[in-house]
Structures are given as structure tokens and as C-alpha cells.
Amino acid sequence: MKILNNNIPKYLGVILLLYVLVAGFLVPLKPGVSSFYPKSVELNEVTTFSITTYNTFHTQSAEVKVWVRLDSTTLLSATEVRVLDDNQLQADIVLGTTQTQMYDLEKALSVIIDNEIDGYMIYPSAILVKPSKGATERPILGSIGRLSDVRSVEAFRFPYRSILYETIRNTFFHVAIWFAMFLLLIYSCYHSIRYLRTKDLHSDRKSEALINVALFFGIAGILTGAIWARFTWGTFWTSDIKLNMSAVAMLVYCAYWVLRSSISDIDTKARISAVYNIFAFINLMFLVMVIPRFTDSLHPGNGGNPALGGEDLDSTLRCIFYPAIIGYTLIGLWMADLNYRFLNLQDKYEIS
């Protein structure tokens, strides 16, 4: 009559979490462009751009190329690229009138930088093209390339996202802890239903222990989320709907504690708190899962943003993220198991 019947899940949980910690912190980010200046170019004028890149090794590579993406397949290379140091570049770019028929003047053009060590990095919507003020027409100056000319490097690296940068690693903590919390709550709800059917007090204690651990995970999720928010959105707490809903969800489960402590009879307490747990869980589903999807939110997955998919969670992140969820859930079950055994002893010797 335990939550975990043998030690394998505990070892597995520890190993998975160690893997998540080590790989999550040691795997480097893909290279990326952190700044690109100036933002616009005049037709037929030579413009010098200063480019700052992140996580790159330009000085060690033989040739760094800077491309302007004209349409879906055609690229125009910069006339000259000067490497200042590992993360600093200067590039001269000329857009001649002879090329204007190849691209849409209304749209901002993307820039692609590549070298043979780091692979390629893309800076979307980098250059706005302005009409020239009387400069003479030029022929094509840079060489025209194809998208297949861009060199890429196969390596296990996390995606580079502006605003997120290195904090993308928090996916393995903040998001995974919330997932684990939900799994624990589902399991606790299952034990509440089981208690109502069998009247077995062990199920009641299991459901209480699982809620205790899930609440702990919830607080951990809020803390990691607050730190993440500080670095990406600028404040620890915003009035984002999902934050407020999760705070309310925590309140709902704190009320569960209050309810338990206010009823003295053991059987009544177990019965009522099981009913409240089921009631609260379905409400929580509405709070955190449904309502934020109807309003705008800063979180991915709300207001039309892609949730877990697309570019935000690529295959390298998945390799760590899914083991992280399993790892936290197993550790949570272990914690709940300890808590459940403690509650058993408490009831047995009537320590309050």
C-alpha cells in the first residue's frame, strides 16, 4: 500500500533529473545575430553595416559570408566582409537598381550570416530598402547565390531566440515543473475518486500527500516563472491572465488545507476533502487551461501564439524537455510517497 512499490522509479527519476541538469546547462546555444545596424539601405549606395553576433567564432573560420535574402531562393552576398573579432563583423552591402525586379521593395529583407564553424544564422526583417537620392545606377556588385550555398553545421544545440537568449533553458524547469504538477494533481484526483468508491483511508492520505507535493511544485513553478519573467518581460509579476489564474489555482488548493484542518472527524474530513478535490480540480482545468486561451497573454500558446510546437520547442529542446517532465513526476511521486508514509504514522499515533 505505497505510492511507489519499488525503487526503480526513484533511481530513474534521479538519473533523468541529473541528465536534465547537466545537458540543460552544458549544451550551447546556436549562434545568432544580436544586433544589426543601420536598419535601412538606399538603392545604389554602398552601406556599411555593423553586425554583432552571439556564440560565434569568426576569427577561427576561413571565410565569413553575409547574405541578403532577396526572395525565397535567391541571395545577394555582401561586397566585403571585415571580421573585427569573434562576435563583431562589418559588411558592405550594395543593392543596385538592376536587382529591384527580383524582390519586393515594400518588405524588409532578411540577412543570413554563415561560416564553416558555426553554420548559419538568420536575422529576419533586417534591412528596409529606400529609393535612392540621385546616386548613379550600379550593376550587380555582390555575387548572386542560392539558398543551398549557405553552409550549415549539424550539432546538438538549443535554438537561439531573441529576447529569450540563454533563458530558453528555463523550459526544462518552469514548464516541466508545471507539467509534473498537473500529472500529480490528476493522480491525486484519481485517488479522491477511489476513496469515494472504496472508503479506504489510505487513498485519502495518498491524495493529500500528492496535493502537498503538487502545491510545492506549483510554488516552485511560480518562482522559476517569476525569475524568467524578470529577464524576458522586465518584471517579476505582470497582470498576465495566466499568472493570475495560476495564483488563484494555488489559492484553491490552499483552501483545501484550510478545509482539512477545520473538520475534526476523520471519515467526514476524508469524504468532504475528496469531494472538494474533485470539484477544485475540474475548476482548475478551466482556470489554467481554458480561460487564458480566450484572452491575450504573453505566454506562448495564448492569443494565437503556437503552444508546444513550431519554432519554440524544436527537437533538441524536446530531447531534454520530455525527460525533464518524467523526471520531475517521478521525483514528485517519491516525495508524495514519503509524505504519505508520514501521514500514515501521524494517523496511527495520533500526533497532531
Partner 1 sequence: MLYLVAISFVVFKLFGSLEGPTRIGIFWIIMVFTAIMVINDSFSIHSSRRRLALYQLYDPIELLTAKLVSNFTKMLIAGILLMTMLSILSNQWLKDWVLFAQVFTLAILGIVIIMTMVSSMTMYSSNQNSLMSVLSLPLLIPVLLIAMRLSLISERMFFDTAVSSNLLMLLGIDLLSLVIAFGLISFTWKP
| Whole-angstrom distance, CA of residue 129 vs CA of residue 39 | 9
| Whole-angstrom distance, CA of residue 333 vs CA of residue 228 | 26
Contact call for residue 151 and partner 1 (CB under 8 A): no
| Whole-angstrom distance, CA of residue 256 vs CA of residue 51 | 55
Site string for partner 1, 65-104 (x = CB under 8 A): ----------------------------------------
Provide the phi-psi class of 75: left if phi over 0, else alpha when psi is between -120 and 50, else beta.
beta
Q: Where does this chain touch partner 1 (CB under 8 A) — which range of 61-69, 114-122, 281-289, 314-322?
A: 281-289
Among 138, 157, 271, 341, the residue binding partner 1 under the rule CB under 8 A is 271
Among 15, 251, 266, 289, the residue binding partner 1 under the rule CB under 8 A is 251
Least Å distance, CB 64 to partner 1, is 50
Least Å distance, CB 234 to partner 1, is 25
| Whole-angstrom distance, CA of residue 38 vs CA of residue 44 | 16
Least Å distance, CB 232 to partner 1, is 25
Strand partners for 66: 113
Q: Put the strands of the sheet holding 74-77 in their side by side order.
A: 40-42, 119-130, 109-115, 65-69, 74-77, 144-146
Least Å distance, CB 269 to partner 1, is 8
If DSSP codes are grouped into helix, strand and coil, which group holds residue 129? strand
Site string for partner 1, 167-206 (x = CB under 8 A): -----------------------------x----------
Closer to partner 1 at the Cβ: 183 or 287?
287
Among 177, 280, 331, 333, the residue binding partner 1 under the rule CB under 8 A is 280
Among 272, 308, 319, 338, the residue binding partner 1 under the rule CB under 8 A is 272
Strand partners for 113: 66, 121
| Whole-angstrom distance, CA of residue 168 vs CA of residue 158 | 8
Closer to partner 1 at the Cβ: 123 or 281?
281
Contact call for residue 289 and partner 1 (CB under 8 A): no
Q: Within 13 Å of residue 297, how many CA atoms lie on the same side as its CB?
A: 23
Using H for helix, E for strand and C for coil, what is the string for 37-96?
A: ECCEEECCCEEEEEEEEECCCCCCCCCCEEEEECCCCEEEECCEEEEEECCEEEEEEECC
Among 287, 317, 320, 331, the residue binding partner 1 under the rule CB under 8 A is 287
Site for partner 1 in 201-240 (CB under 8 A): none
To the nearest 10°, report the CA torsion of 322, 327, 330, 335.
Answer: -140
The residue ranges that bind partner 1 (CB under 8 A) are 196, 248-249, 251-252, 255, 258-259, 262-265, 268, 271-272, 274-276, 278-280, 282-283, 286-287, 290-291, 294
